[in-house]
Amino acid sequence: MRNAVLVILSLPQVLSGWLLWILFLTVGAVYKPKVKRPFIPFAIWRPWIAKRWRFSNQFGRLIVMHPSHDRNVYVHELVHLRQSENNGICGFVTGLVCLFFGLNWGMALAVWAMSLSYPVLAMFGAWVRGYRPYWDSENERAAYAQTYRRWLERWIDNDLK
């Protein structure tokens, strides 16, 4: 039930992820397609793309992994996925507030759809502060921090006990 509500509230992210997944599959950019967890499309970059693009990515609710990356990178992308879901919820609530204050439904839906751009705003904020726009954005820093914490906890659990 909770996952269904999350999917509905982050609908712009869900639709963009699924549409990109279909596009990537159609043009042959990815292989080994799966649907993981509830409604999370997953694939791996084909070697001809992986040669030029060394990153794993999260687009809305889509995760595309580089073939050489491991589970730790997947966990990192899952953090970005949760951030994306949070952005969708924030956009939904903001759209409701717009409706409450008299904006029309079209404008409220546009505000909700604009939640896809929130990571770009975080990059802009990093750039304004004089940092590297992508690597020093709050989204990327938070994802690395949460992933690093998981790696550290796993190391403590496995090696120090």
**Is 30:23 a contact under the CB 8 Å cutoff?**
no
Q: Note the pLDDT tens digit of each residue in 50-71.
A: 999 999 999 988 999 999 998 8
Can you give the residue ranges of every domain in the chain? 2-152
User: What average pLDDT does range 128-152 have in this prediction?
Assistant: 85
Task: Round the average pLDDT of the chain to a whole number and report it.
Answer: 88
If you search the block for the tokens 């999370």, which residue do you land on?
40
- Read off the pTM: 0.85
Which residue, 86, 26, 72, is CA-closest to 43? 26
Indicate whether 143 pLDDT > 80. Answer: yes
Amino acid at the residue 135: W
